[in-house]
């Protein structure tokens, strides 16, 4: 074991809470799509930010008797969080799990925004025609009108979108927080590049997979161009 080694001073992920509703048996056939999503702005959003998201899915489950039922899940998330966590190594052994501290909802702006989108989700669930399809709310449950009561539910069921990013952010030569340059090269090392979500300078408001693919393609193209240049120089 070694002392904590700081390798990621800017870990970010999107905090999320899953509201759960029991669908009535006659709610209709399960939709062909996996989920649907809606982006919106919070009361604290700046400019044209879309900092909140609702996504909806129908999932099979069983009740207390073991009978099959279906649940409607509404995933309420802050997709442009301001809270920042850390990723630190516990050992030089790459097989040892690192120490991850998400620090979710630590920024004063994040908790009120999560409360806001959860309350929006509950209003959606209680609005026709959706309300007639729901038997009752399972989570977060009744009597959550006060911030304190809602906060207790959020803390008990807080999740993330598993969109961890920004532990090795990309930046220019004057950026003290930058770990890699604009071609993914790790500063201070030769022959090492990073091409994944860790190089994002900041969190995205969307699922990160397509952006990771684009970043990887651009860095791969830069590597091919660099290798071609080196070959031409050697030939000359």
**Model pLDDT, residue 28:** 76
Residues 56 and 145 in one domain: yes
Q: Report pLDDT for 230.
A: 66
Instruction: Say yes or no: 22 and 105 in one domain.
Output: yes
Contact 163, 55 (CB under 8 A): no
Tell me: do 123 and 171 sit in the same domain.
no
Convert the pLDDT of each residue in 82-100 to its tens digit. 999 998 888 889 899 989 9
Q: Closest Cα partner for 52 from 120, 104, 98?
A: 120
pLDDT over 60 (residue 120): yes
Cis peptide before 140 (omega within 30 of 0): yes
Residue 213: is it exposed, middle or buried by C-beta count within 10 angstroms (0-12/13-18/19+)? exposed
| Domain, as residue range, for 174 | 165-236
Same domain, residue pair 83 and 118: yes
pLDDT given at position 163:
93
The dihedral through the CA atoms of 205, 211, 34, 105 has a sign that is: negative
Neighbours of 54 (CB within 10 A): 19
**Domains in the chain, number:** 2
CATH at residue 54 = 3.30.560.10
Tell me the CA end-to-end span of the chain in Å, nearest whole number: 50
Catalytic status, residue 33: no
pLDDT at 146: 92
Sheet holding 5-11, edge to edge: 5-11, 85-89, 99-101
Higher pLDDT among residues 78 and 143, named by residue: 78
Q: In the numeric block, which tokens belong to residue 134?
A: 């729901």
What are 211-228's pLDDT values in tens digits?
A: 999 999 999 999 998 887
Please tell me what DSSP assigns to residue 17: E
Whether 156 and 194 map to the same domain: the answer is: no
CA-closest candidate to residue 16, choices 143, 130, 102 = 102
Same domain, 90 and 200: no
Domain stops at, among 160, 190, 222: 160
Tell whether the model's pLDDT for residue 2 goes beyond 60.
Answer: no
**pLDDT value of residue 6:** 43
Shared-domain flag, residues 135 and 170: no
Same domain, 27 and 83: yes
| pTM score over 0.95 | no
Average pLDDT, the chain: 89
DSSP 145-166: -SHHHHHHHHHHH-EE-S--B-
Please identify, among 134, 160, 186, the residue that sits at the C-terminal boundary of a domain. Answer: 160
| 48 shares a domain with 136 | yes
The verdict on 110 and 200 lying in the same domain is: no
Say if residue 132 is in the same domain as residue 27. Answer: yes
pLDDT confidence band for 3 (50 / 70 / 90): very low
At which of 119, 139, 160 does a domain end? 160
Q: Phi and psi dihedrals of 156, rounded to 5?
A: -75, -25
- Same domain as 171, residue 117: no
Locus of tokens 């193209």: 221
The active-site residue out of 33, 126, 136, 163 is 163
pLDDT in tens, 187-196: 988 899 999 9
């Amino acid at each position: 074991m070694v002392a904590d080694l700081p390798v990621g001073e800017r870990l970010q992920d999107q905090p999320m809470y899953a509201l759960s509703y029991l669908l009535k048996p006659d709610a209709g056939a399960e939709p062909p799509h996996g989920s649907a999503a809606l982006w919106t702005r919070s009361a604290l959003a700046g400019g044209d930010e879309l900092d909140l998201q609702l996504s909806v899915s129908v999932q099979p489950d069983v009740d207390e008797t073991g009978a099959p039922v279906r649940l409607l899940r509404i995933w309420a998330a802050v997709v442009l969080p301001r809270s920042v966590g850390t990723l630190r190594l516990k050992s030089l052994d790459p097989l040892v799990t690192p120490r991850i501290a998400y620090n979710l909802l630590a920024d004063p702006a994040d908790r009120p925004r999560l409360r806001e989108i959860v309350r929006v989700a509950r209003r959606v669930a209680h609005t026709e025609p959706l309300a007639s399809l729901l038997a009752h709310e399972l989570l977060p449950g009744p009597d959550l009108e006060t911030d304190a009561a809602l906060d207790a539910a959020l803390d008990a069921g807080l999740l993330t979108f598993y969109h961890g990013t920004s532990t090795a952010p990309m930046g220019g030569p004057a950026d003290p927080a930058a770990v890699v340059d604009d071609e993914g090269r790790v500063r201070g090392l030769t022959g090492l590049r990073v091409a994944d979500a860790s190089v994002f300078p900041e969190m995205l408001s969307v699922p990160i997979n397509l952006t990771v693919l684009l970043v990887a393609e651009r860095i791969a193209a830069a590597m091919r161009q660099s290798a071609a240049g080196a070959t031409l120089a050697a030939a000359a």
